[in-house]
Structure 1
C-alpha cells in the first residue's frame, strides 16, 4: 500500500489498543472521514464497537501486526505499554507509525524517561537507578528520605510504587515491589500538579493547549480544571518544556506532559505520555479542536487545529458505579457526558467522564 501524506478522507487509521482512548480516537477519525482498524487482545473492546474493523490478537503477534500494516495507511497507539518491538515490526513492514518508537521506548522506562528529559534541558526531581537491595540502600542514602520508589516499567494509576520513609527500609521496599528494576525519586515540594497537552504535526508545526490543574485521589486522576489560573511566565515555561520535548523526539501526534509547580514558580516535569491523555479530556467540550481530533490530524499529516479554550471546564472521571448516574448527569445543563461503553463497572475502573462547563 502506498503511503502519502496528507492522507485523504477514506484512508485507514490503525490503532494499537481497544480501550477508551482508542474509542475516542476512532470517533474523532470517523468525523474527519477516516476508517479505523483496531488491534486489541480483547474481544468486545470499547473501541471495537465504533471502528470499521477489529483484529483480535496480541500486540506482538507477527500475523496480527502484518494484517494491521496491510490494512492501514498510518498506525498509532492509545497507550504506552504497547511493546516497542511491535512498533519496530510495523516499521519493518513498511507501515508508518506515529508517534515514533523512540517516544514509546522513552515513556516505557522511568529511568530512560527522566534521563531523556534532563538531556532535553527539562528539569525533573533527583533520581537514582535501583536494581538490587544494596542499590536501594545506596540510592536512599544519596537521594534522602522520604523518597518514592517506582518500578521502572508498567506502573500506572498509583500502582507499582511505594514510599521509602526510612533509609534502612529501602531494600525491603525494593523487595516488596517484586525485586524488579526500579527508580528512586526525590519528593517534589510542589504547590500543585499541572499538565500540558501539546501536538506536533508532520511539518513540525506545534499546537499547545492551555494548562490543566490536576487533582488525584489514591494515585488516580480524579479531576482536571482548565484552563488553569496561571501567570503568563508560567504558561511560557510550560510551552517551552513542551516544545523542547516534542522537538527532541521529532514527535508526531499529541503528547501529555505532567508537571509539578514549585513554590518558586519553577516547573518540573514528572512524566510524559506519548498519546492522548486523561488530563486532556476537557478539550472535548472546552476547545475549538479537541485532543483526539488533533491527534488524528497530526498522524494523518493534516494541518493542526486551533487550541483556544471557549469555556472553563471541570473534567471529573467517573469510576465504577458512579457512571450509573448517567440519567441524572445527562439532565444537567452545564454537563457533557462521555461514557466508554465498558460492560462491567468494577470498583475504581474508569467508566467515563463528565465535563462541566462555565464561562471563561
Structure 2
C-alpha cells in the first residue's frame, strides 16, 4: 500500500535497527504523533523498548519484513549496513523507504562512495582498490605511503582498517583484514576533523546545521564541539558539498558528512553516513530542531525544521563504565544526559552521551 504523504500523525513509521540511533529516532517520532515499529535481531533492544511495536528477526528474514510492511507506512533505517535486498523487498511490498537504495548502495562500499563523490565534484583523498595481496601492494605504491587500508564494506569506529607504512607491508595488512576487498586511502595532511549534518526533504528542500569540530580516540568519536569556529569560506564549502551529495543521491532524510580541513582551508570528504550521525547529537540541546526530529520530518514528507543553533555545545560520548557517572553529570546545571538503555556496559561501547552547554548564541 502506497503511503499518503505527508504522513499524518497517527501513522506508523518503521525503523530497521534497534540501537541507540533507532531509539532516539523513535522518541522523536513519538513527539510528532507517530507510532514506531522496530525490526531488530535481538530482544530487549534499546529502540524496541520505546516503540509501539518490536519485531524480532534478521533484517533479511522474509517473515519479519512482511510483518514490518504490514505495520509501517514509511520505513527508514538507523545504520547503513542493513542488506540492500531488505530494502528492495520492502519496496516490492509497496512500502516507501527513505533514504532510498542508491544512498545505501553508495555508502556500503567505500570505493563506490569515493567514486560517487569525485563524480559529483566533491574532493577526497587519493584512493585505490585491491582484492589480493599483490594488488594491495600495487595500490599502496600508487597512493603513496603511509596510507590507510580499510575493508571496502562494513567496519566502523576504527574497526576493519589498518595503517600501511611501506608498500611491501600491504600484503600482510591485506591478510590481517581477512583477505577481503579493500580500499587504500592516501594520508590526509589535515589540521582538524569537521562534520556537517544536512537534510533533504521530499520536495527537494535542503537544510544544513552548523559545522562541528570532532575529536577521535582509537578510531572512536570522543567529543564534538558545535557550532565550530570556522571561516565563512569553510562553511560555504561544506554547504556546497552537502547540497551536491544530497541532490546526487536524490536523498530524503538526514545525512552525516565527515570532513578533513586542510592547511589551506580547503575541505575533503572523509566519508558519508546515510542516517543520523554521532557528530549531530549536539543538536538535541543546541538547535531549534534536532537531527532526529529533522530526519522524521523528512521521511514523513513534512516541511524541514529550522537548523539555527541556540547554543554552543560540547558533546561527549560515554563509553563503557563511564555511563555509571550519570549522577555526577545530572548534577551539573549546564549538562544534559542522554543514556541509551543498553543493559551491558562493555569497554569502548557507546552507552550514552552528554551535551554540555558552553554558552547561548
| Structure-to-structure mapping, 1:117-136, within 5 angstroms | 117-136=117-136
Report the secondary structure of 2:245's partner residue: helix
Deviation at 1:81, TM superposition (A): 0.6
Bigger Cα displacement from structure 2, 218-227 vs 170-179: 170-179
CA distance in 2, matches of 1:65, 1:197: 29
Report the secondary structure of 1:122's partner residue: coil
CA distance in 2, matches of 1:140, 1:294: 41
Conserved 8 A contact 2:2-2:94: no
Conserved 8 A contact 2:2-2:96: no
Aligned counterpart, 1:187 = 187
User: Which stretches in structure 1 are left out of the alignment for 5+ residues?
Assistant: none
| Structure-to-structure mapping, 1:121-270, within 5 angstroms | 121-270=121-270
Aligned counterpart, 2:317 = 317
Deviation at 1:144, TM superposition (A): 1.0
CA distance in 2, matches of 1:328, 1:169: 47
Aligned counterpart, 1:31 = 31
Q: C-alpha offsets along residues 189-215 of structure 1, whole Å, 9 cap, x if unaligned?
A: 000000000000000001100000000
CA distance in 2, matches of 1:131, 1:3: 42
Pairwise CA RMSD of aligned residues? 0.6
Deviation at 1:3, TM superposition (A): 1.1
CA distance in 2, matches of 1:137, 1:358: 47
2:47 equivalent to 1:43: no
CA distance in 2, matches of 1:138, 1:327: 53
CA distance in 1, matches of 2:9, 2:349: 34
Deviation at 1:2, TM superposition (A): 4.2
2:82 equivalent to 1:79: no
Q: C-alpha offsets along residues 137-165 of structure 1, whole Å, 9 cap, x if unaligned?
A: 11111111100000001110001001110
Alignment: residue pair count: 360
CA distance in 2, matches of 1:144, 1:304: 43
CA distance in 2, matches of 1:327, 1:53: 31
CA distance in 1, matches of 2:115, 2:129: 11
Q: C-alpha offsets along residues 215-262 of structure 1, whole Å, 9 cap, x if unaligned?
A: 000000000000000111110000000000000000000000000000
Q: C-alpha offsets along residues 265-292 of structure 1, whole Å, 9 cap, x if unaligned?
A: 1100000000000000000000000000
Deviation at 1:166, TM superposition (A): 1.0
User: Which stretches in structure 2 are left out of the alignment for 5+ residues?
Assistant: none
Aligned counterpart, 2:60 = 60
Q: C-alpha offsets along residues 293-328 of structure 1, whole Å, 9 cap, x if unaligned?
A: 000000000000000000000000000000001111
Report the secondary structure of 2:96's partner residue: coil
Q: C-alpha offsets along residues 24-72 of structure 1, whole Å, 9 cap, x if unaligned?
A: 0000000000000000001000001100000000000011111101110
Q: C-alpha offsets along residues 58-101 of structure 1, whole Å, 9 cap, x if unaligned?
A: 00001111110111010000000100111011111110000001
Aligned counterpart, 1:297 = 297
